[in-house]
Structure 1
Amino acid sequence: MPPLRQKLPTPITHVTPPELNVKSESAMTENKEGLKESSDAKEKAERGADKASESVLGEIEKLPVSSLAEASITTTVATASKQAKSAATEKKPQSSLWTKIKDAIRHTWDGTRLLGVEIKISLKLAMKMLAGYELTRRESRQLKRTTEDLIRLVPFSVFIIVPFAELLLPVALKLFPNMLPSTFEGAMAKEKRIKNLRKTRKEVSEFLRSTVKESGLVLPQTSNNAQRELFAEFFRKVRTSGESPSREELLSVCRMFKDDIVLDNLSRPQLVAMARYMNLPTFGTDMVLRYQIRHRMRQTKRDDRAIDYEGVDSLSVTELQSACQSRGIKSHGVSPARLRDDLQNWLDLRLRQNVPSTLLLLSAAYTYGASESIDSHYDALLSVLSSIPDELYHEAELQVHHAEGTATNKQRLEVVKEQEELIKDENKEISKTGKVIKDDVSVDDEPVTHEPPKDQTK
């Protein structure tokens, strides 16, 4: 029997009715027409934009350059104002109380560690000094700074030993900000202290410029005939004829004065101004102020010799700024090269020209905040010397004549009366305070020499 053939299923074919075919063809033609219309519209829009840009460019070309600049500036200002408003609206993240406490604890810990390291270094320096070796200027300053910090710890330790006394520590630090050692001083406190010192020195500079005529600079009794003639000729030029003396004459007259004589003839307002300018306490009698200023002058004189021996170039930028600040030389916003020139100018005038430190300090106060150059220093010295009043100029003239033995009794009588008034004022101060200040410190005791310090080796 032949095999049975299986009947295959017939494939299913979808037959589209003729009506549907007509509809699909019409839809396709409509889509093609829509695409064509959209492309035509796009081309028209691009052509319109090109025409608009061409017209705008043409209008801009017709405008003058100034109006274009004003338009650009207006746009820039508007953009900057928008950015400023957006930055102002953004809230800065405020540090929490816990963050402030952690920062304070970290600052205290770092200050304690720094103080321990400085004590360790200073102990080695003290042993070196006791062994007979000479300390350099940097080593001496390090030892002095650590000693001052240890002295400050004595009143600070009372708040730690006495129970519940630490509650009064913020009040004590507010009243006495220098009670803590220097290692615990923060950056903001240091910047505030320096800013206050700059403000004080500007005020003192204006005060000294306006009131220097109240005091007198008395000539010592060591003048010979040539010095008397030079002195008289110098003040004849600056007070009578208005001529400008030469630089050599100015330096020669400056060398006739002494620091102690200048300080002894300054009035109390000027003593207070000088103490403020040197960052010294301003309370106390005139004798206390003179003693403090003399002591600081002696320290500055010794430091001048040390810097001159080691060289100005050996100082770092921080040491250079500190040295200029201690001498009243402007250091804020001044380049290190300018600071080195100003400090070298101070050393040349003090050590080589033998100009007194008091006159240099007054000249620095005169030129503080102004453009300082070597000419401005000489101009300031000339201003200080030319501001002597008539009565004090007569007293200086008497000193010159007395050195030659040509002084009259009338001149001596006037000077004795003036000195008697000064003695009465000092006695009144002593009776009010009940304390006698033994002011036997002299700035001029140590003559200025150019001998180098001792050798560093034993």
Structure 2
Amino acid sequence: MLSVMALCRTRNCRFMMSENGRRMRNCVLLLYQPCHLSTNSKPKSMLSIITSKAKYANEQYERFLERKFPKFYLLYSTFMKGFWMLMTEAKEVGYIKQRMRNEGIPFQQLPYREMEKLRQFRRDIIKAAPVVIISIPPFANYLVFVLMYFFPRQLLIRHFWTPKQQEEFMDIYHRMRVEVYPEIFDGLLKAVPKLSERNLRNQMLQLCTLVQHGTHPQVENLQAVCTAFSGPPLGMKRLDVQQMKALSRVMFLTPHLPAFLLQRRLGSHICEIQNLDCALLKLGVNELSEEELKRACYVRGLNSTHLSKEDCKTWLNCWLQLSSRLKVSEASLLLHSMILLSANYLQSLKQ
């Protein structure tokens, strides 16, 4: 399509001699001739010129890094992509919170994806805040690259991990959870004699023995002992300090806090997961993508890194089935189910 050109008015005049000797001016008036000298077209602003030059220089710099320093370029590109992903999520979270304020929507009534985004973003930003602050001054991002290289798992969040690192670090974090499984089972076994009902003691002992011997329990096995987790000694407000510390490590929370803070944090986090479960039941497990399925299972205690979509879906349905049947006072059972339901699931798939 031809651009609209400015029009100017021009006059071509010729002088001719008439028959009677008088000079006659013959004017040809040409209206609306295209004129390339029009001043209506705005010149490029200085800002746009600088921006385009900077963009070009950055592209050349990235090509140079990719060609000469491929390993460093991988770190550089991962950091830049992660930074923009984090900024995009920050905008989305800001929009969600603004809508919550304007419409008076409580956290519990949000859709599943928005609820999960708020939960995950809060945890991510707490971990990423020091690194983001360090990268603000000019050329300080090179220090961040050094940190990324030497301490990627400890200092960076998933946005700044390569796909290979994500898989590797998820396995490492889950192994850290598995390390405290024996301690949690010991705590459960020590609590069995303190239960008042004999039948409940037998069921608890049977459940612990079942899991310790490598058998994956059914939802009915867990639901049968739910009353043991509503009061002493396994209720949320009656848990032993060592048990709370071990459970905190399973949920990736710091165990180095006073007992009342450990109890409060465990209670708030498992309550948050229960709210997520309610929202997920409304949405439907089948609506989740494979990435969302794996993340949902991992948050609830299962190492889903190497599982198929169908295996994740089967396990998550079992979890939701249990979660939907428990009362608020029985939240401690859901917390312990992060171990009881996940400890032998991978082994049961191989049988």
TM-score band by shorter chain is 0.5 to 0.7
Who is 2:178 aligned against? Answer: 202
Give the one of 186, 207, 222 matched to 2:162. Answer: 186
Structure 1 residue 310: Cα displacement? 1.4
Who is 1:111 aligned against? Answer: 82
Who is 1:363 aligned against? Answer: 340
Amino acid across the alignment from 2:283: E
CA 351–327 in structure 1, closer or farther in 2 if over 3 Å, else same: same
Indicate the SS of the match to 2:302.
coil
Indicate the SS of the match to 1:195.
helix
Asked if 1 retains the 8 angstrom alpha-carbon contact of 2:192 and 2:201, the reply is: no
Q: CA RMSD in A?
A: 4.0
Indicate the SS of the match to 1:131.
helix
Matches within 5 A, 1:28-107: 98-107=69-78
The alignment's TM-score, normalised by the length of structure 1, stands at 0.48
Who is 2:287 aligned against? Answer: 314
CA 260–150 in structure 1, closer or farther in 2 if over 3 Å, else same: farther
Asked if 1 retains the 8 angstrom alpha-carbon contact of 2:323 and 2:334, the reply is: yes
CA 253–157 in structure 1, closer or farther in 2 if over 3 Å, else same: closer
Who is 1:277 aligned against? Answer: 250
CA 97–350 in structure 1, closer or farther in 2 if over 3 Å, else same: same
More displaced 10-residue stretch of structure 1: 210-219 or 324-333:
210-219
Give the one of 58, 74, 95 matched to 1:124. Answer: 95
**Residue 324 in 1 paired to residue 297 in 2?**
yes
Asked if 2 retains the 8 angstrom alpha-carbon contact of 1:115 and 1:183, the reply is: yes
Structure 1 residue 295: Cα displacement? 1.9
Q: C-alpha distance in 2, partners of 1:112/1:121?
A: 14
Q: C-alpha distance in 2, partners of 1:160/1:332?
A: 31
CA 351–272 in structure 1, closer or farther in 2 if over 3 Å, else same: same
Deviation sequence 1:77-111 (CA, Å, 0-9, x none): xxxxxxxxxxxxxxxxxx98622233333223322
**Residue 254 in 1 paired to residue 226 in 2?**
yes
Q: C-alpha distance in 1, partners of 2:169/2:193?
A: 33
Amino acid across the alignment from 1:258: S
**Residue 350 in 1 paired to residue 323 in 2?**
yes
Give the one of 133, 137, 140 matched to 2:115. Answer: 140
Asked if 2 retains the 8 angstrom alpha-carbon contact of 1:216 and 1:265, the reply is: no
Structure 1 residue 147: Cα displacement? 5.0
Structure 1 residue 302: Cα displacement? 0.7
Structure 1 residue 340: Cα displacement? 1.5
Deviation sequence 1:146-190 (CA, Å, 0-9, x none): 455555564335424568866764676656845445422322332
Matches within 5 A, 1:21-32: none
Q: C-alpha distance in 2, partners of 1:166/1:106?
A: 12
Who is 1:232 aligned against? Answer: 198
Q: C-alpha distance in 2, partners of 1:251/1:147?
A: 32
Q: C-alpha distance in 1, partners of 2:203/2:69?
A: 70
Q: C-alpha distance in 1, partners of 2:115/2:226?
A: 31
Structure 1 residue 339: Cα displacement? 1.7
Who is 1:298 aligned against? Answer: 271
CA 313–217 in structure 1, closer or farther in 2 if over 3 Å, else same: farther
More displaced 10-residue stretch of structure 1: 268-277 or 318-327:
268-277
CA 273–370 in structure 1, closer or farther in 2 if over 3 Å, else same: farther
Structure 1 unpaired stretches of 5+: 1-94, 220-227, 374-458
Asked if 1 retains the 8 angstrom alpha-carbon contact of 2:255 and 2:262, the reply is: yes
Asked if 1 retains the 8 angstrom alpha-carbon contact of 2:180 and 2:246, the reply is: yes
Deviation sequence 1:42-89 (CA, Å, 0-9, x none): xxxxxxxxxxxxxxxxxxxxxxxxxxxxxxxxxxxxxxxxxxxxxxxx
Structure 1 residue 199: Cα displacement? 1.6
Q: C-alpha distance in 2, partners of 1:235/1:160?
A: 56
CA 105–329 in structure 1, closer or farther in 2 if over 3 Å, else same: closer
Q: C-alpha distance in 2, partners of 1:157/1:236?
A: 53
Matches within 5 A, 1:411-430: none
Who is 1:445 aligned against? Answer: none
Q: C-alpha distance in 2, partners of 1:236/1:153?
A: 47
Greater strand fraction, Structure 1 or Structure 2: 2
CA 217–365 in structure 1, closer or farther in 2 if over 3 Å, else same: farther
Q: C-alpha distance in 2, partners of 1:140/1:311?
A: 15
Q: C-alpha distance in 2, partners of 1:238/1:144?
A: 33
More displaced 10-residue stretch of structure 1: 293-302 or 111-120:
111-120
Larger Rg: 1
Indicate the SS of the match to 2:229.
coil
Q: C-alpha distance in 2, partners of 1:366/1:137?
A: 26
Who is 2:311 aligned against? Answer: 338
Asked if 2 retains the 8 angstrom alpha-carbon contact of 1:259 and 1:358, the reply is: no
Structure 1 residue 138: Cα displacement? 0.8
Amino acid across the alignment from 1:331: S
The alignment's TM-score, normalised by the length of structure 2, stands at 0.60
Greater helix fraction, Structure 1 or Structure 2: 1
Amino acid across the alignment from 2:230: K
- Identity fraction in percent: 22
Q: C-alpha distance in 2, partners of 1:150/1:106?
A: 20
Q: C-alpha distance in 2, partners of 1:217/1:313?
A: 42
Deviation sequence 1:257-296 (CA, Å, 0-9, x none): 3278524444444333222222222323333332322221
**Residue 156 in 1 paired to residue 122 in 2?**
no
Amino acid across the alignment from 1:124: Y
Q: C-alpha distance in 1, partners of 2:256/2:190?
A: 21
Structure 2 unpaired stretches of 5+: 1-65, 211-218
Q: C-alpha distance in 1, partners of 2:203/2:127?
A: 53
